[in-house]
């Protein structure tokens, strides 16, 4: 694959979100399949692998370490702190410097590495000034435990405040045709400070693939069960958008998933989508999106068809929304 820049790193224009293999959408594949998928992703040209302490409460980092630790020079490794399961077994946001350090040490051990290339603050702790959390990450850079600092799901103001403490290499947030919030202010902030923008859920948690027609049977552990857009009544209305979307994919000569990724790549040369999957076939399909060219007319049609005004339902429920700082469109 072609490459894009994150600080001094050259990474594949499409990265791999590893979360799905261990967490988020119900039971993942068995370990052997996960190991195979991660290695075949490297073989296919992926050089940017994204995990976090939260994913499977450490299980995903262990899987990544076990599967591709022996190929450490083949990829840029990203993980995250600030969102974890605490010692009492409770999921929490915690951006205290001592906890960031503890989480990093645990991640290094699980991944089996001496240094993490890009380490994000997964969520900003409302009880800890961003300057304190980023200061702790800056200390880890000086100590050689991480190489670059990133932020996730934060506002443009937070990005700029953090950047004054330590250079921010990348900002990660949800971004796809149906989640356009970064366009309000975050993309501009990233451009201003020279940070890459990493787009998670770029195929809208499977919606834009066209292969999820019925959400009534989602697993109890599937996070989409808590997302208003996937409420069966809302989702049925959202599916109506896909008929024309499928026509635009056919016109472009690609799959629906590839069109979603190609749209993001065309939005800016500092944007790096990181689709996740539990399927080797889909992983390879996503990689091929790097070679899809979207015409100006199709770009215009896409953005008119699927946007914050045409999608029914919020991207998070009220509880989850409280944990993110990304700007919101008016109701």
**Domain boundaries along the sequence of the chain:** 3-203+259-292
pLDDT tens digits, 151-206: 999 999 999 999 999 999 999 999 999 999 999 999 999 999 999 999 999 999 99
Q: Look at residue 91 in the predicted model and tell me its pLDDT.
A: 87
pLDDT lower than 70: segments of the chain = none
Residue 330, pLDDT score: 87
DSSP code string of 136-175: HHHHHHHTTSEEEEEEES--HHHHHHHHHHS-EEEEEEE-
Give the per-residue pLDDT at 86.
81
pLDDT recorded at residue 107? 98
Give me the pLDDT at residue 253, please: 98
Average pLDDT of the chain? 96
Helix axes 97-111, 130-142, angle to 10 degrees: 40
CATH class of 3-203+259-292: alpha beta
CA angle 63, 265, 155 (to 5 degrees): 75
Q: Which of 55, 119, 235, 316 is catalytic?
A: 55
pLDDT of residue 88: 80
**The pLDDT of residue 170:** 98
pLDDT of the residue at 90? 83
pLDDT on residue 87? 79
Q: What pLDDT score was predicted for residue 251?
A: 97
According to the model, what pLDDT value does residue 38 have?
A: 98
pLDDT for 57 equals 93
Residue 75 bears catalytic tag: no
Handedness of CA 82, 99, 60, 115 (dihedral sign): positive
Cα–Cα dist 184/15, whole Å: 24
- The pLDDT value given to residue 74: 98
| Beta-carbon contacts of residue 6 (< 8 Å; ≥ 6 apart) | 48, 76, 118, 148, 169, 170, 196, 198, 272
């Amino acid at each position: 694959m072609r490459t894009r820049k994150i600080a001094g790193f050259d990474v594949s224009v499409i990265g791999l979100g590893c979360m799905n293999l261990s967490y988020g959408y119900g039971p993942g594949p068995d370990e052997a399949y996960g190991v195979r998928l991660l290695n075949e992703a490297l073989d296919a040209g992926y050089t940017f692998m994204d995990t976090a302490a939260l994913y499977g409460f450490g299980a995903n980092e262990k899987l990544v370490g076990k599967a591709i630790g022996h190929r450490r020079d083949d990829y840029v490794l990203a993980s995250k702190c600030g969102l974890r399961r605490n010692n009492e077994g409770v999921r929490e946001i915690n951006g205290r410097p001592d906890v960031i350090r503890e989480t990093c040490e645990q991640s290094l051990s699980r991944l089996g590495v001496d240094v993490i290339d890009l380490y994000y603050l997964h969520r900003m702790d409302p009880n800890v000034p961003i300057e304190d959390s980023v200061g702790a990450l800056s200390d880890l850079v000086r100590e050689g435990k991480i190489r670059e600092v990133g932020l996730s799901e934060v506002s443009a103001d937070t990005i700029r405040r953090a950047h004054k403490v330590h250079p921010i290499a990348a900002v990660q947030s949800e971004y796809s045709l149906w989640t356009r919030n970064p366009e309000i202010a975050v993309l501009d902030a990233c451009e201003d400070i020279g940070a890459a923008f990493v787009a998670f859920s770029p195929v809208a948690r499977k919606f834009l693939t066209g292969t999820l027609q019925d959400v009534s049977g989602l697993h109890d552990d599937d996070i989409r069960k808590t997302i208003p857009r996937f409420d069966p009544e809302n989702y049925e209305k959202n599916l109506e958008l896909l008929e024309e979307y499928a026509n635009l994919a056919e016109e472009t000569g690609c799959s629906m998933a590839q069109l979603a990724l190609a749209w993001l790549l065309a939005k800016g040369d500092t944007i790096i989508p990181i689709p996740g999957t539990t399927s080797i076939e889909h992983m390879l399909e996503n990689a091929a999106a790097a070679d899809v060219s979207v015409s100006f007319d199709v770009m215009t049609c896409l953005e008119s068809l699927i946007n914050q005004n045409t999608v029914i339902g919020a991207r998070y429920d009220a509880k989850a929304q409280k944990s993110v700082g990304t700007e919101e469109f008016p109701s």
